[in-house]
Amino acid sequence: MSGELVFVPLGGVGEIGMNVYLYGIDDQWIMVDLGLTFADDRLPGADLVLPDLSFIEERRDRLLGIIITHAHEDHIGAVPYLWSKLGVPIHCTRFPAAVLRRKLSENGVQQASAIREMTPGEPFDLGPFRCCLMHVTHSIPDANALAIDTPFGRVLHTGDWKLDPAPMVGERTDIEGLESFGRDGVLALVADSTNVMSPGTSGSEAEVRDSLRTLIREQKGCVVLTTFASNIARLETAMLAGHEAGRSVVVVGRSMHRMIDAAKESGFLENMPPVLDERDVGQTPREKLMYLVTGSQGEPRAALMRIAFGNHPRIRLEPGDTAIFSSKIIPGNERTLYNLHNQLVERGVEVITEEDHFVHVSGHPCRDEIEQMYRWMRPKIAVPVHGEVRHLYAHARLAERLGVDTAPVIRNGDMLRLAPGPVSVTGEVTTGRLVLETTELVDAGDDLYRTRRRLMSHGTIQIVLVLDSFGSLLTSPRITPVGAVELDTFTENADEITERISDAIEELSDREVLDDDRVELTVRTGLRQAMGLPKFKRPIIDVQIIRLSPDALDAGADKKKGAA
């Protein structure tokens, strides 16, 4: 045995989303998950944010494979965009494989042969890593923890999981397999931290099914229900509840159809009632309809957002209808969703969320379930992942109370030595965020996004100067502010502002006025002073300088004479 066993997160630590983790021995690597996250106001104009894989791209010949724990976007979504940079086999179970094949095909990646479909409980070797996917319950079918045997000891990478005695779709967590894996002790438990601050247990999908059946049966008008398209158990619950209430169920949204097709291909949704396409509703009375739609997080192009704002070509909501949000609000998404709720309420639609009714249970373990996992594994090391910083620290404190020797809180890019010797961060690798901009990947720290953020926060002011060859102004500066100042106030003071800019240019020396950079600096400074902009107000000031030669002036004069 030589070298070290190291763990390197490239995403998913200090955040909820964009999970991508590396395990390495002697510079041989395996990758666990390759997810994305969704852009917020810090990246205006962007939708998808992907991890920077520079570190492992430079070692792609030593990357032995990618192992996908489950088919949520934050664990699988970056594969269609970044797999070609790695080109290694992808190991996953049946449902994630079905989803991946569709995603690769939609993105024009013709490499379905790279997907190796694995059976839970059956080990497979990747260099010095003996791996085994072990079934766990989550809010999507076919989720798995990853058990890894190494020359240094055993590691359990939990992925996303929970303990649900009645998950409704798929099997319960493989408790027997987990107990067996942890019986001789585990070196490290790399574990989900999402709900570590929530006491008790996460609840059962069976309880939500009973609640939704009652709720949907009580509604009088048209019902729209939205949830994560990947939550196959919830989709089945909604379809059964609508069917039992005498409603025709209409599935709306491409991702919803994609997930349903993948679930059927993988042997799920055997009890699914017949559903209609939105184009086949015909003369069905509104009170006999239930729409199952995408957009539970207020995604701008999803079906529910278009319905709420009256932009959907076929679906209209009326007073007395009901919209049920059978999902949790992702932290940071509150404002977007509350705006969506308000828009629906203004249309006379009753909005029902988890705050009003029992319509959702989490797919992640709460504190009692996390403690049970520690009792099964009895790890020497706990590595909290999949959580914001506050979750990671709470998880580390819990692990230490449960008798774990060490529970380091790390950051994306930290190279954590798990063995041999003391656990420590031995280095830092390149990490970052890439934004999908049309067909190109752009660094999230690029000038493009810095400029967009500044435009969004501070606006822009355009100034056009027309000078002759001697540097004299031929006309008053033309100043156009966009989103930078209150327009009426600017208009009232426009003459004074342009006069002060003109004076500042006239005060330049004969040499300075011929230097565009010097003129631009003078105009920027003079404009800020003339408009009284405070230091914290930083609009983009775009100075355009047009210099006209004597010939151009003569030609202009001749043209005017001719017109006269």
Q: Is 281 exposed, middle or buried (0-12, 13-18, 19+ CB in 10 A)?
A: middle
pLDDT for res 115: 95
Pairwise CA distance, residues 208 & 328, whole Å = 13
205-352 CATH fold = Rossmann fold (3.40.50)
> 490 phi and psi, to 5 degrees?
-60, -45
Pairwise CA distance, residues 159 & 138, whole Å = 9
Residue type, 84: S
Q: Which two tokens stand for residue 206?
A: 């069976």
Q: Are strands 276-277 and 248-252 parallel, antiparallel or unpaired?
A: parallel
Which residues in the chain are classed under CATH 3.40.50.10710?
205-352
- CA nearest neighbour of 192 among 139, 268, 117, 231: 139
Which residues in the chain are classed under CATH 3.60.15.10?
5-200+362-443
Whether 320 contacts 292, CB under 8 Å: no
pLDDT for res 330: 79
Q: Which two tokens stand for residue 106?
A: 């939609």
pLDDT for res 439: 53
Q: Spell out the residues 6+ positions from residue 325 whose beta carbon is closer than 8 angstroms to its own.
A: 226, 227, 296, 337, 341, 351, 352, 353, 354, 359
Residue type, 38: F
Which residues in the chain are classed under CATH 3.10.20.580?
459-563
Instruction: Look up the pTM and report it.
Output: 0.80
pLDDT for res 1: 43
Pairwise CA distance, residues 38 & 53, whole Å = 17
5-200+362-443 CATH fold = Metallo-beta-lactamase; Chain A (3.60.15)
Long-range CB pairs of 426-430, under 8 A, 24+ apart, other chains included: 426/4, 426/6, 429/8, 429/10, 429/55, 430/52, 430/54, 430/55
Residue 190, beta-bridge partner list:
157, 383
Q: How confident is the prediction along the chain (564 residues), in pLDDT tens digits per residue? A: 458 999 999 999 999 889 999 999 999 999 999 999 876 555 445 567 899 999 999 999 999 999 999 999 999 999 999 999 999 999 999 999 999 999 888 888 876 679 999 999 999 999 999 999 999 999 999 999 999 999 999 999 999 999 999 999 999 999 999 999 999 889 999 999 999 999 999 999 999 999 999 999 999 999 999 999 999 999 999 999 999 999 999 999 888 999 999 999 999 998 889 998 888 888 899 999 999 999 998 888 889 999 999 989 899 999 999 999 999 887 777 888 999 999 999 999 999 999 999 999 999 999 999 999 999 999 999 999 999 999 999 999 999 999 999 999 999 999 999 999 999 999 999 998 887 755 556 565 556 556 666 666 778 888 998 888 888 888 888 888 887 777 777 888 888 888 888 888 888 888 888 898 998 898 888 888 888 877 667 788 888 988 887 665 555 555 555 555
pLDDT for res 406: 97
Whether 542 contacts 516, CB under 8 Å: no
Query: CA torsion, points 418, 424, 427, 433, in degrees to nearest 10?
Result: 70
Render 1-61 in DSSP notation, one character per residue.
--S-EEEEEEESEEBSS--EEEEEETTEEEEE----EE--TTSTT--EEEE--HHHHTTGG
Q: Which two tokens stand for residue 52?
A: 């920077």
Whether 419 contacts 6, CB under 8 Å: no
Three-state SS for 279?
Answer: helix
CATH number belonging to domain 459-563: 3.10.20.580
- CA nearest neighbour of 50 among 439, 442, 405, 375: 442
Pairwise CA distance, residues 481 & 458, whole Å = 11
Whether 362 contacts 328, CB under 8 Å: yes
Instruction: Match 């105009």 to its residue by tokens.
Output: 523
Q: Residue 6 CA to chain centroid, in angstroms? A: 27
pLDDT for res 449: 56
Question: Distances in Å between the alpha carbon of 137 and those of 161, 233, 283?
Answer: 5, 11, 40
Q: Residue 407 CA to chain centroid, in angstroms? A: 27
